[in-house]
Chain A
Amino acid sequence: MQTQTTATRQQLPDAAGEPPAIELIGINKSFGNVRANRDIDLSIKKGSIHGIVGENGAGKSTLMSILYGFYQADSGEIKVNGKKVHIAGPRAAIAAGIGMVHQHFMLVENISVLENVVLGAEDGPWLKGSLDRARTHLEKLAREYELEVDPDALICDLSVGFQQRVEILKALYRGADILILDEPTGVLTPSQADHLFQIFEQLKQQGKTIILITHKLREIMAVTDTVSVMRQGAMTAEVKTSETSPAQLAELMVGRPILMRVEKTKSQPGEPILQVDDLRVFNQQGVERIKGISLSVHAGEIVGVAGVAGNGQSELLETIAGIRHAKSGTVRIGGVAAGVTGNSNAKTLRHLGVSHVPEDRHKMGMIGPFEEWENSVLGLHDEPENSGGFIMKIQTILQHADDQMQRYDIRPPNVHLRAENFSGGNQQKIVLAREIDREPQLLLIGQPTRGVDIGAIEFIHKQIIELRDRGNAILLVSVELEEIMSLSDRIIVMFDGHISGERDPEFTNEKELGLLMAGINEAAQ
């Protein structure tokens, strides 16, 4: 481990003597007792790509929200191109030349690209004139930055990659010189992400400044010029990307050395636990989301399902978990048919020994306003050990929850704290503890480390591998290729409701998987 550049901040020399695009001086922001930002100084050179990394809750989003005018800093000042500005709201930010591309796109699905771009920035009372002027301007922007999009296409007809382009165009149309992008690659395939980075380069050459917020160190290393690290509300380091390494950044983020690679032995697959045969699933709108999938997971094996979000992985997990019904096909757990085409529900599947850590813990895996102990029995609340007849055995549950919190290192160890008040990592541990503690035959786990800080990722990965080593089967769904590759004993790639390929993680690479995720199976051609 390198440790030579630690928490000391180094000022970057400014060769051209130009004022920095953005300068933050002594920014402080508190919410109640929590100091979300403390004495933040940050200077970003004009025409550079600057990354900001940090764990969840480190204060990145707060800082960017201050910059974009959602929040007002308690103290400190903001300078744009050397001039002090007061950013009272997003409009003021736009006026100062700052644009933001949110993690969740702020687009109106059922109107055209052009209309979305103009929305809120109409230059007259009549829409027609605005649209005509916007069309010319948009075409010019698209040419300059190689951001071609059909201005008359409806947003809902565009792929996420193109939707993101529209977001960027929106910001540019409003005259942004400084672009803030919050986790822009979360929804993209690796190749789409690469394309995005090319766009960054293009923008940089045109003199735009880009601030990239991400937790993916790979991307930081790939595209940024400089990078700032935040931890617990403070800026702990600012380094040149060329002079750092992922390991060093990770350590700066967490404050201690981090194991970047998961240690695991070769799997010893046993009996098949999960057998899926020709499964077909339709969504509520009657669209076929799983188009005849067959797969199996054996005892003592982790099977990873890779794919760009929305290619049927969620439906697959939910069908096996009993939440969703299949049109046809069978699912067997330990040889027993689960009846997923009709009368199954999550409870019957649980009784077959299936545990499920859902992809979206906020919507499914836990109830935010419930206290920790209540969440510790979600789905198990009417098991005999938790309730006798009508009344819940609250004392028993409390004790068990308390014990679980110790064993899974869930902090703070307070069973009466509401789940929503835990950090992302601890929330995930609450769900994981509940699901793993039952010692399931089969664990279904979706996005195990989404929104989870690096420290907790390590712990969660370790738990999954230990479960495998005790001879249980695990089906893992993740959009993080790194995670799939490091955890899985076998990788299945899904595209458009099909399995587009199956690979051994030892003999594949991100590029090959990326192609499979885009539906291109080179081996088959």
Chain B
Amino acid sequence: MNQDLPRWADMVLIPALNLAMALLMSGLVVIIIGENPIEAMKYLVYGSLGYGEGIGYTLYYATNFIFTGLAVAVAFHAGLFNIGGEGQAYVAGIGVAIACLWLDNTHWLIVFPLAIFGGAAFGALWAAIPGYLQAKRGSHIVITTIMFNFIASALLVYLLVNVMKVPGSMATETRSFEAGAHLPFMSDIFAWFGLKIEKSPLNLSFFLAIAASVAVWILIWKTKLGYAMRTLGFSSTAALYAGISPARIIIIAMSISGALAGLMAVNEIMGVQHRLLLGYTAGYGFVGIAVALMGRNHPVGIFFAAILFGMLYQGGAELAFEMPAITRDMIVVIQGMVILFTGAMDHMFRPTVARLLSFTRSQQEGA
């Protein structure tokens, strides 16, 4: 059956409907635990967009999601489902931390490019190994990337417990970086221009995320590498026909994907935490999958989906704070609803919308 939708419906209407459905279901959950869903919604929106600090947190989370969402999208265009963004970002933290620990007595302008390089390189490496295994050994990328998440977690534990930890400290983390390896917070950046905004973890990496989005857009749609990746993504036999080496493209695409996931570590480690610590990825890598799905694997879509998820994270915290009956587990349920409806159940409204649209169109023609 013809389910081709106009672009606007595919990019805007369907996600909006899915989101509305998710919020409706979440509202029901809120009612069940005896709170007012309208009130809850108000807290959620106000908490994420209503005041400076809230916006800052929303965009800070969004920065992470843009990176991990782009990572999933790049791999997806080459026909690969990289669900290892979590592990890649985690390992990338080592690269960022090395740059920061090494040169934190200089200036952040010197450390920044090195941290980007370190994060991207470590993330790329961590993704290239599953890429290689897929390309040369046929090990399925979904299996290997998820396995590599576990290996990454074990590796970080080892390094933080045995190598990088401050001796005698209880916390499994490196020493805190000196000011020379602190990315300027957005409040600092505004202060350069004499503007004052509320403090939040939002930092310079947000601009890095925007730059990465533009770069990904160029890569996918304007370069021959992107062309080769998309060819492979649609049909591996066509790639062979075109003289494109699938193995090569798989490894390259995974490396780029991992590098993007790795940039998340710049935001977290150099931008916010100022030290490498256990568990800092906090599932952002997995959220990236939902972000990419909702954003239709397009940088613009990913940008907005990332902001939406940033709102859910920040607004969710606000909600848990303002309504103690809504525990953090309820917030996870609400976030899960959004992921379920926007990602997994994306096709629920598709046939109905397609039918409605074609019906209105034929009505108009008839008239």
> Do A and B touch, yes or no (CB under 8 Å, in the complex)?
yes
Assess the B361–A387 pair: CB atoms within 8 A.
Answer: no
B1-17 residues at the A interface, CB under 8 angstroms: 1-2, 4
Are B238 and A382 within 8 A (Cβ)? no
Residues of B within 8 A of A31 (CB): 1-2, 358
Name the interface residues of A315-355: CB closer than 8 Å to any CB of B: 321-323, 345-350
- Is A381 within 8 A of B237, CB to CB? no
Is B105 interfacial (CB-CB < 8 Å)? no
Q: Does A145 contact B (CB under 8 A)?
A: no
A interface footprint on B1-42 (CB within 8 Å = 1, 0 otherwise): 110100000000000000000000000000000000000000
What residues on A are CB-neighbors of B243 within 8 Å? Answer: 322, 345-350, 379
A5 at the interface (CB under 8 A from B): no
A222 at the interface (CB under 8 A from B): no
Q: Which residue of B lies closest to A420 (CB)?
A: B4
Which A residues are in CB contact (< 8 Å) with B1? 31, 71
Is B225 a contact of A369 with CB atoms below 8 Å? no
Which residues on the B side are within 8 Å of A149 (C-beta)?
Answer: none
The contact string, 1 if C-beta is below 8 Å from chain B, for chain A 366-408, is 1111100010011101100011001110100000000000000
Q: Is the CB of A32 within 8 A of B234?
A: no
Please, how many angstroms separate the alpha-carbon atoms of A381 and B244 in the complex? Answer: 10
Instruction: Please measure, in the bound complex, the distance between the C-alpha atom of A358 and the C-alpha atom of B239, giving whole angstroms.
Output: 13
- Please tell me if the beta carbons of A32 and B358 are within 8 angstroms of each other in the complex: yes
Residues A390 and B238 in contact, CB atoms below 8 Å apart: no
Which residue of the partner chain B has the closest CB to A386? Answer: B224
Given known pairs A374-B227, A390-B224, the reply for A321 and B241 (CB within 8 Å) is yes
A residues within 8 A CB of B169?
none
Which residues from B are CB-within-8-Å of A265?
none
Distance in angstroms between the alpha carbons of A377 and B224 in the assembled complex: 10
Chain B residues within 8 Å of A30, by CB: 362
Contact A392–B358 (Cβ < 8 Å): no
Evaluate contact between B223 and A379: CB separation under 8 angstroms.
no
- B241, A390: Cβ atoms closer than 8 Å: no
Q: Verify if B230 is at the interface (C-beta below 8 Å from A).
A: yes
Closest to B242 in A: A379
Would you call B241 and A358 a contact (CB within 8 A)? yes
Q: Which of B2, B224, B240, B365 contacts A323 (CB 8 A)?
A: B240
Question: Given A346-B241, A358-B241, A378-B241, are A392 and B234 neighbors across the interface (CB < 8 Å)?
Answer: no
The answer to whether residues A363 and B237 also contact, given A387-B224, A392-B224 and a CB cut-off of 8 A, is yes
Place the interface of chain B in its size category.
20 to 34
Is there a chain A Cβ closer than 8 Å to B276's Cβ?
no
Find chain A residues with CB under 8 A from B240 CB: 323, 345-346, 364
User: Is B228 close to A, CB under 8 A?
Assistant: yes
- Asked if B231 lies at the interface with its beta carbon under 8 angstroms from chain A, I say yes
**Assembled-state Cα–Cα distance A491/B166 (Å):** 80
A378 to B223, Cβ gap below 8 A?
Answer: no
List, in ascending order, chain B residues with CB within 8 A of A345's CB: 240, 243, 245
Please name all residues of chain B whose beta carbon is closer than 8 Å to the beta carbon of A382 when the two chains form the complex. 224, 228
Whether a CB of chain A sits under 8 angstroms from the CB of B222 is: yes
Q: Which residues of B from 129 to 184 have beta carbons under 8 Å from A?
A: none
Interface residues of A in 223-259 (CB under 8 A from B): none
Q: Does A2 contact B (CB under 8 A)?
A: no
Question: Quick check: A366 and B238 within 8 Å, CB to CB?
Answer: yes
Q: Which of B4, B222, B235, B242 contacts A392 (CB 8 A)?
A: B222
B2 close to A381 (CB less than 8 A): no
Interchain CA distance A174-B273 in the complex, whole Å: 70
**Quick check: A364 and B358 within 8 Å, CB to CB?**
no
Inter-chain contact A392/B241, CB cutoff 8 Å: no
Expressed in whole angstroms, the minimum distance between the Cβ of A17 and any Cβ of chain B is: 40
Q: How far is the CA of A346 from the CA of B243 in the complex (A)?
A: 4
Of B223, B234, B235, B241, the residue contacting A391 (CB under 8 A) is B223
Assess whether B245 is in contact with A370, with CB atoms less than 8 Å apart.
no
Docked Cα-Cα span, A32 to B228, in Å, equals: 33
Interface string of B27-60 (1 = CB under 8 A from A): 0000000000000000000000000000000000
Known contacts being A346-B243, A390-B224, is A369 close to B238, with CB within 8 Å?
A: no
Shortest CB distance A380–B (Å):
8
Tell me whether A497 is interfacial, beta carbon within 8 Å. no
Say whether B224 contacts A365, CB under 8 Å: no
Chain A residue with the shortest CB-CB distance to B357: A32
Distance (whole angstroms) from the CB of A180 to the closest CB of chain B: 20
Residue of B whose beta carbon sits closest to that of A393: B224
Chain A residues with Cβ below 8 Å from B238 are 363-367, 378
Q: Is A33 interfacial (CB-CB < 8 Å)?
A: yes
A33 proximity list for chain B (CB < 8 A): 361-362, 365
- By a CB distance below 8 angstroms, the chain B residues around A369 are 234
> Would A346 and B242 be within 8 Å (CB), given that A31-B2, A363-B235, A392-B227 are in contact?
yes
| Given known A390-B223, A391-B222, A392-B223, contact A367–B235 (CB-CB < 8 A) | yes
Across the two chains, which residue of chain B brings its CB closest to A345? Answer: B243
Contact of A356 with B by CB under 8 A: yes
Return the chain B residue nearest A379 by Cβ.
B242
| Least distance between A233 CB and chain B CB atoms (Å) | 15
Task: Tell me the bound Cα distance from A368 to B243 in angstroms.
Answer: 18
The answer to whether A364 and B237 have CB atoms under 8 Å apart is yes
Cβ of B224 and Cβ of A379 under 8 Å apart?
no
Point out the residues of chain B lying under 8 angstroms from A370, CB to CB. 230-231, 234
Q: Note all chain B residues with C-beta closer than 8 A to A378.
A: 231, 238, 241-242
Q: In this complex, what residue of B is CB-closest to A382?
A: B224
**Cα–Cα distance between A436 and B107 once the two chains are bound (Å):** 59
What is the CA–CA distance of A427 and B240 in the complex, to the nearest angstrom?
A: 19
Residues of A contacting B358 with CB < 8 Å?
31-32
How many Å lie between the Cα of A391 and that of B224 in the bound state? 6
Q: How far is the CA of A458 from the CA of B218 in the complex (A)?
A: 41
Q: Which residue of B is nearest A378, CB measured?
A: B242
The answer for the CA separation of A32 and B4 in the assembled complex, in Å, is 9
A394 to B222, CA, bound (A): 8
Residues in chain A near residue B2, CB distance under 8 A: 31-32, 34
Contact B234 A368 (CB under 8 A): yes
Contact of A367 among B231, B245, B365 (CB under 8 A): B231
Nearest CB in chain A to that of B219: its residue: A390
Complex CA gap A34/B365 in Å reads 12
Q: Are B235 and A364 in contact (CB under 8 A)?
A: yes
- The answer to whether A379 touches B222 (Cβ under 8 A) is no
Taking CB atoms, residues of chain A closer than 8 Å to B4 are 32
Can you offer 23 A-B residue contacts whose CB atoms are under 8 A?
A32-B2, A32-B361, A33-B361, A33-B362, A33-B365, A345-B245, A348-B243, A356-B241, A363-B235, A363-B237, A365-B241, A367-B235, A368-B234, A370-B231, A377-B227, A378-B242, A381-B242, A387-B223, A390-B223, A390-B224, A390-B225, A391-B218, A394-B222
A323-B241, A366-B238 are known; give 14 further A-B pairs, CB within 8 A: A30-B362, A31-B1, A32-B4, A32-B361, A322-B243, A323-B237, A346-B241, A364-B237, A367-B234, A367-B238, A370-B230, A379-B243, A381-B227, A391-B218
A interface residues with partner B (beta carbon < 8 Å): 30-34, 71, 321-323, 345-350, 356, 358, 360, 363-370, 374, 377-379, 381-382, 386-387, 390-392, 394
Question: What 7 pairs between A and B have smallest CB-CB spacing?
Answer: A347-B243, A346-B243, A379-B242, A364-B241, A31-B2, A387-B224, A367-B234
